[in-house]
Structure 1
Amino acid sequence: MSSHEVCLLIGRDEEVLWCEASESPVLLPDSRARWEAIWYWREELVEVAHSHPEGPLGFSEEDETTMAALTEALGRAPRFSVVAPGGMVARVEGRDVWVSEEPWWAGPLREISGMQYTPMARA
């Protein structure tokens, strides 16, 4: 099975509002449809999640610039998260934190991204 990055827009009560998949395991190209969905769901949007099926378990430089642009456009920072084979990390109040209890949608996000869950040992 091939892997690819996937983006989810999450609303209140962990409702998946929108989903987009790329053709690449390491890149989620900018998309007009994604920006239009973000704007359409801007009042309900509480989290922007995406997968890194080949790692890393963290935000890339491109993720950082995208998060800054989204925060500026929305006038607030939604929660941002990355789901990878080894776990999940979220940006909470400017800090990256390990998510020990993953939301229900993390498993399906891994599945549609074509990755297996291989939890990392936490010290």
Structure 2
Amino acid sequence: MTAKEVVFLIDESGAVYHRDDGDGPTRIPDARSRWEIIWESRDRLREIAHSHPVGPLAFSHEDETTMSALESALGRTVVFSVVAPGGMLRRENGQTTRVEIEPAWAAELRAVSGMSSIL
């Protein structure tokens, strides 16, 4: 399987209710349809998680600007996560932490992104 960046929209129960696939391992192009889904499901949305299938285990500058724009548009904070071969980070209320016990959807995100396991 070819590595590709993938984004999941996740609700309060931890269920993935939307998935978008990028066109390569290092980016997911902006899509109006994704912004519309986020807006239409804003009351349901709790977390936005995406993969970095070839690393790094970090939020990129583009991630940072996108997260800022999303929270500004929604008028509230959102939980953001990045899943990479070496682990998972979560940002909640401005604090970034490494996730030791990953949610079930993290394994699915790795699989659909072309990552086979945690390195």
TM-score greater than 0.5 by the shorter chain: yes
Is the counterpart of residue 25 in structure 1 residue 25 in structure 2?
A: yes
Q: Matched residues in 1 for 2:40 and 2:2: separation?
A: 31
1:10 — aligned with what? Answer: 10
Question: Please, what is the CA RMSD of the aligned residues?
Answer: 0.8
- Tell me the number of residue pairs that the alignment of Structure 1 and Structure 2 aligns: 119
Equivalent position amino acid for 1:106 in 2 = A
| C-alpha distance in 2 between matches for 1:88 and 1:82 | 6
Residue 35 of structure 1 corresponds to which residue in structure 2? Answer: 35
Q: Which residue of 1 aligns with 2:95?
A: 95
Query: How high is the sequence identity, in percent, across the aligned residues?
Result: 51
Q: TM-score, normalised by structure 2?
A: 0.97
Deviation at 1:54, TM superposition (A): 0.4
Q: Deviations over 1:104-123 (max 9, x none)?
A: 1000100000012234xxxx
Matches of 2:22 and 2:41 in 1, distance apart? 21
Structure 2: how far apart are the matches of 1:40 and 1:104? 25
Alignment-derived partner of residue 104 in structure 2: 104
Q: Give me the whole-angstrom Cα distance separating, in 2, the residues matched to 1:95 and 1:40.
A: 26
Query: Alignment partner of 2:36: what SS?
Result: helix
SS in 2 for 1:71: helix
